[in-house]
Chains A and B, each alone.
Chain A
Amino acid sequence: MNSKPVIQLRDLYKTYRSGEVEVHAVRGVSLDILKGEFVAIMGSSGSGKSTMMNMIGALDRPTGGQYLLDGVDVATLNRDALAKVRNEKIGFIFQGFNLLSRTTALENVEMPMLYNSRRIPAQERHVQAAKALNLVGLGSRSGHHPNQLSGGQQQRVAIARALVNQPTILLADEPTGNLDSQTSIEIMGVFQTLNDQGITIVMVTHELDVARFTKRMIVLRDGRVVTDEPVQPRSQADVELGKLKAAQEAVQLH
């Protein structure tokens, strides 16, 4: 495996200040994530996972420490450069999906391509978006608006949107939070395939079962890293899917 670090956090801090009250969401996180890694970030609610992901995703700026993306200090990048990073380098799946409610699933997935520095013709935008939706198993619902889709379906639209610009880094904040176990495993299968193709994935999850599909597990508590270890043994999506189907059939037999 290529061992170049793509994400380097150096003593990273994020302090929210609302009036007199200070909330230390992230306090002194240092870690390196190498190219091709598949990392699960775990931790209880409020431990700072989303805050850290937003900073890694070039959406939010740290209040202390340093963040190097592909060796470049993100603090030195201006707004437009950050937008370009978000558009072309990073695919971000939000905890709350963040879909445009009045546009169709297909148009939601097409949107990142509108802002690509490469001029992508409408025809190609269509084809690529449809392909990404098929990948997450939502090809037949592409004409629906988000409010006509279930939580799990919305989540898959958000995943397709994150993948459509073929990012080298995929950041996912609870991508399986709203999915049933079978769909969760299917999505993990998609992630594992992408990861095998060389995409670096950082994924926040509450579920240990889901974390088992990754290669490395990091646990946060109160904004600090408390555990950082390789996943042993690692689950394989196709195997787990087989097991699940067998189990489901057993239930239906009785």
Chain B
Amino acid sequence: MRLFASLKISARALRRNKMRSLLTMLGVIIGVGAVIASVSLTSGATKEVEDQVSSLGENVVNVFSGNFTRGGMRGGWGSAPTLTLADSAAIAQLPNVVAVTPEVRDREQVLANGQNWNTLVMGESPSYPQIRNWKMARGAMFSDDDVASLAKCAVIGQTVVDQLFPNQDPVGQTIRIRNLPFLVVGVLAPKGFNLFGQDQDDTVVVPYSSHMHRITTRRFVNDILVEASSSDTINDVQDEINELLLERHHTTDPDFTVRNQLELMDMVTKTSRTMSLLIAGVAAVSLVVGGIGIMNIMLVSVTERTREIGIRMAVGARAADILVQFLIEAVTLSAFGGAIGIGGGVAFSMTVSNFYGIPAYTPYLWIIIAFASSALIGIISGFYPAWKASQLDPIEALRYE
């Protein structure tokens, strides 16, 4: 039997019962649509989180003050200062460490141009943009000399530029922090919001030495950012930092926490994997339901068309011809339903995405999986009815009323 001719026969049979075909497909349409929509929305969210995690910098190890795993933590991350500049310098000497910056943070009122803006003032080393994978939009990062000389210079984020220097080039201008003039030497490229919804561009970066001696007076740093040479060495670097700090702090009970990007990434992928599993379950159930609907309608169709089958056999159709014809009909139903479901799911997620401003993204793999499994469900659920049709006796089928 010719494939194209079979397709034509199936299409005609399905068109004859438009409403019934549509209702039969509905199971697959809703199932596939729901799966594609939820996959699109969760993938969008996951992708955004992944983007943000990697925007923290690649191969980065964070060393925080305080012990996160110990019960009764006081007041959150970095609240129990234990890390010092000496710790940071020692870490810089470890093998496979490319760059290190101690971090100090403070919210300050910043003045310029007669404007006033409250922002996060961070003390960093010149390696900071490299570690955070953060480009300079204008000007340049301050240097080691600036750190050594406690220079009053700063690099500012785009939000601060927008607030204090609208429509102006801030490089070369002066901002005042606690009444001290800081020279703006560079502007950081816009980076957007981070995982916790904070505007990363709302910041002023100054040499850590200037921060610790001029803006504030403190001995401890909030945390230390370390960049490892590659993702292969990141675990080694982490272990070495652990050992080094235990030794330097003369303790066996860590008063610091070492975390790397991979662990953060793991946390994200773990949740998204759980989500995927849930979706797969929903998909399986809905496809089984859709498949049962298709099998039911195909059985009805075979009974209804017993005489047609008899006539086709009488003029020479073989069992295989009849089998293929009904299989194609079932697959056409389910694949068509799958295609509509994919279209509907994508459209739905895009609408939700536009409406609520959450990202949506449909991986091609899922489109292929959804389409292939709906076609497969057509084959599986259509097989029994088609086989039954193919096994009819021609003369009995002809006599069927």
Give chain A's interface residues, CB within 8 Å of chain B: 54, 57, 59-60, 79-80, 83-84, 86-88, 92, 94, 98-100, 102-103, 111-112, 114-116, 119, 122, 161, 165
Contacts and interface: CB of A to CB of B under 8 A. Distances in A.
A84 B395 CA distance: 16
Contacts of B1: 114-115
A102 B108 CA distance: 83
Interface string B292-326: 00000000000000011011111111111100000
A102 B16 contact: yes
Interface string B254-294: 00000000000000000000000000000000000000000
Contact of B317 (A83, A92, A102, A165): A83
Contact of B398 (A59, A87, A100): A59
A195 to B, nearest CB: 22
Nearest to A119: B2
Contacts of A161: 315
Contact of A115 (B12, B16, B315, B394): B315
Interface residues of B, number: 23
Contacts of A99: 311
B316 A100 contact: no
Contacts of A112: 315-316
Interface of B: 1-2, 4-5, 12, 16, 307-308, 310-321, 394-395, 398
B398 A98 contact: yes
A122 B398 CA distance: 27
B395 A60 contact: yes
A98 B318 contact: no
A54 B395 contact: yes
A83 B2 contact: no
Nearest to B398: A98
A102 B8 CA distance: 13
A87 B394 CA distance: 13
Nearest to A115: B316
A79 B319 contact: yes
30 contacts: A57-B314, A59-B398, A60-B395, A79-B318, A79-B319, A80-B318, A83-B319, A86-B315, A86-B316, A86-B394, A87-B316, A87-B317, A92-B314, A94-B314, A94-B398, A98-B307, A98-B310, A98-B314, A100-B308, A100-B311, A111-B311, A111-B312, A112-B316, A114-B2, A114-B5, A114-B317, A115-B315, A115-B316, A115-B321, A116-B316
B394 A111 contact: no
Contacts of B395: 54, 59-60
A83 B311 contact: no
A94 B318 CA distance: 19
Contact of B311 (A80, A98, A114): A98
Given A54-B395, A119-B2, A83 B313 contact: yes
Given A86-B394, A114-B321, A115-B1, 10 more contacts: A60-B395, A87-B315, A87-B317, A94-B398, A98-B307, A98-B310, A98-B314, A111-B312, A114-B317, A115-B318
B118 to A, nearest CB: 77
A88 B308 CA distance: 20
Contacts of B317: 83, 87, 114-115
B308 A86 contact: no
Nearest to A162: B315
The 5 A-B residue pairs with the shortest CB-CB distance in the complex, in nearest-first order: A87-B316, A112-B315, A115-B316, A83-B318, A60-B395
A55 B310 CA distance: 15
Contacts of B320: 80
Contact of A59 (B2, B4, B394): B394
